[in-house]
Structure 1
Amino acid sequence: MNISLYDISVWVLPLVIAITFHEAAHGFVAWRFGDETALRLGRVSFNPLKHIDPFGTLLLPAMLLLSGSPFLFGYAKPVPVDFRNLKPLRAGMVMVALAGPGTNILLAVAAALAFHVVPLVPPEAARWVAHNLYNAVLINILLAVFNMLPIPPLDGGRVAVGLLPRPLAVPLARLEPFGMLILVAILILLPLAGAQFGLNLDVVSRLVRATTDSIFQLLLLLTGNA
């Protein structure tokens, strides 16, 4: 797979912005609901270096891309939140979790609307700007959809823990230490194992891609770009 400097330049900026705003939003909403942990540690910040995990944000996605993996997967440094400080607890947990994906959707809308100013950009830069905006819409929608999978520690898992009755919420919350292993198994190992037997077990990835594509097309339509 040949990846040019141009390809890197139109993916890195939208990815870094999407991750930075996602994580900063978690910390900001946690602070607004009474927990200052992220604020004290400098995580309510638009400085990407505060949020990027060298392996999870850069190395792992690059390895998967170069290996031809059926799904790209990565993560940033999790924003520390002491849920005991949130008031009210359950509403705070849900709102903190929704802050990241919600921010990504807002960024996707902003990028889609910005397509309308591309004709005003000098011709020599217009193609680069358009590709950045296109990738910003795609990346932010994908991050929002992926993070809303109902598996802790993803945001969707924490939303589910905050909304479900206690008998269901407690066992789901106990999965959090194993969440990343579950995701790797579902997104990478299961499809690879299925391929050995001629089976397409890439169910979750296909669901995420289909949902992302549907929201992408709808957003382009609503912002007058379709």
Structure 2
Amino acid sequence: ANLRNPQRDYTFVSLAGPLSNILLAFVFGFILLFSIILLKSHSTIFSILSLLCLFGVKINIILAMFNLIPIPPLDGSHVLAYLLPYPLSVRYQQFARYGIVIILFLIITDTLKYPFLLADYLSKILLGWMISIGRFFG
């Protein structure tokens, strides 16, 4: 890639993945909203589409939250490295080689459940809004 300001532009590239996951979560949420309004009388189609949308919202928010964790090689580490002052950024980037080990440690110790709990909470908020709006108009 031919980036004009590589450090800043690479940060934008790193944010593209989580932002696309958030956008997809909203797309699934709006599909759920319109299915509540338009398809609730078609119970089989509505049930299948609703389940697909519920999983689509949850999975995409979980992926966005996971990718924003500031541990290399996840996208959040590139964003944090850009936001830190230069000397701290250099020291932080030296830990990149240990990122996978740190992630495995967090998985084994069940510490990663906290970002997933936050993702679950955020997905419930989005789904709650969409379901409430759909019921209001449906």
TM-score tier by shorter-chain length is 0.7 to 0.9
Alpha-carbon distance in 2 for matches of 1:225, 1:91:
40
User: What are the Cα deviations for residues 104-146 of structure 1, in whole angstroms up to 9, with x where unaligned?
Assistant: 0000011011112324454333222211110000000000001
**Which residue number in structure 1 is paired with residue 15 of structure 2?**
98
Deviation at 1:211, TM superposition (A): 1.1
Deviation at 1:90, TM superposition (A): 2.4
Secondary structure of 1:152's match?
coil
Structure 2: segments with no counterpart, 5+ residues: 134-138
Secondary structure of 2:115's match?
helix
Alpha-carbon distance in 2 for matches of 1:117, 1:107:
15
Higher relative contact order (CA 8 A, sep 6+): 2
Secondary structure of 2:112's match?
helix
**Which residue number in structure 2 is paired with residue 183 of structure 1?**
103
Distance 1:171 1:216, change over 3 A: same
Structure 1: segments with no counterpart, 5+ residues: 1-34, 36-84, 192-201
Q: Identity of counterpart residues, as a percentage?
A: 32
- Indicate the structure with greater helix content: 2
TM-score, structure 1 normalization: 0.53
Alpha-carbon distance in 1 for matches of 2:129, 2:11:
27
**Which residue number in structure 2 is paired with residue 172 of structure 1?**
92
User: What are the Cα deviations for residues 125-168 of structure 1, in whole angstroms up to 9, with x where unaligned?
Assistant: 32222111100000000000011111111010010111111111
Distance 1:225 1:175, change over 3 A: farther
> 2:31 aligned with 1:114, yes or no?
yes
> 2:130 aligned with 1:223, yes or no?
yes
Question: Root-mean-square deviation (CA), in Å?
Answer: 1.9
Q: How many residues align?
A: 130
TM-score, structure 2 normalization: 0.83
Alpha-carbon distance in 2 for matches of 1:86, 1:174:
23
Alpha-carbon distance in 1 for matches of 2:6, 2:19:
20
User: What are the Cα deviations for residues 170-197 of structure 1, in whole angstroms up to 9, with x where unaligned?
Assistant: 1222222331221011112xx2xxxxxx
**Which residue number in structure 2 is paired with residue 55 of structure 1?**
none
Alignment map for 1:121-200 (pairs within 5 Å): 121=39, 122-188=42-108, 191=109
